[in-house]
Amino acid sequence: MFKIEKPANCDFVRYEHKGAFTVVGPQDQMLFPEIPVKLPIVVKKFLEKNTEIKNTKDSVGYGVSYDTSKEGFTYLFGKEVSKAEDLPEGFVTKEIPENDYAVISHKGSKEKLKDTYTWFYCSWMPENGQEHSAQPSFEVYDERYIPARPGVDTSQSYFEIYLPIKKNSQ
């Protein structure tokens, strides 16, 4: 088995069962090479209209990835809502089904995020007898996350990634 060393900026945090919830925000389909260009555009669209989202549950941001293939995936950036209604123009609703997750952390710059995902899928999952579930994965951005901006130190930035695993595989 090919082993990838765990990057210093990530770690397994816990297993968690999460009930179904709804996220509202803009989305786009992207091929993997397009991520550096298209993903920030989705986040920018969210930031421009996020105050128009009704019935938000809290201030946490969700980066949701789904419909993943070998070529790419659909990405939505939004907020959890108790009820989706009167969506801002260009925003959609995504239902995240109940599922079991392996939760990993990512600390520091997002420049090394690809290394975190590669380690998880190529080393951590097989070493821990886990199987990926076809459900959406999502990143949770709370008050510990520090967005990258010129002159801002993101070395202490922190967010968690919920990666779906098949039930009873833990």
Residue 62: strand pairing partners:
78, 140
Q: Are 97 and 137 in contact (CB under 8 A)?
A: no
The tens digit of pLDDT for each residue in 76-113 reads 999 999 999 999 999 999 999 999 999 999 998 888 88
The whole-chain average pLDDT of the chain stands at 91
The CATH T-level fold of domain 10-165 is: Multidrug-efflux Transporter 1 Regulator Bmrr; Chain A (3.20.80)
Whose tokens are 């019935």? That residue is 55
Residue 169 is predicted with a pLDDT of 47
Residue 25 is predicted with a pLDDT of 98
Mean pLDDT by 10 residues, the chain (170 residues): 76 92 98 94 96 95 95 97 96 96 92 88 88 92 91 92 77
Could you tell me the residue ranges of all domains in the chain?
10-165
- How far does the chain reach from its first CA to its final CA, in angstroms? 20
Report in angstroms the alpha-carbon separations of 39 from 32, 42, 76, 128: 10, 5, 9, 30
Residue 2 is predicted with a pLDDT of 61
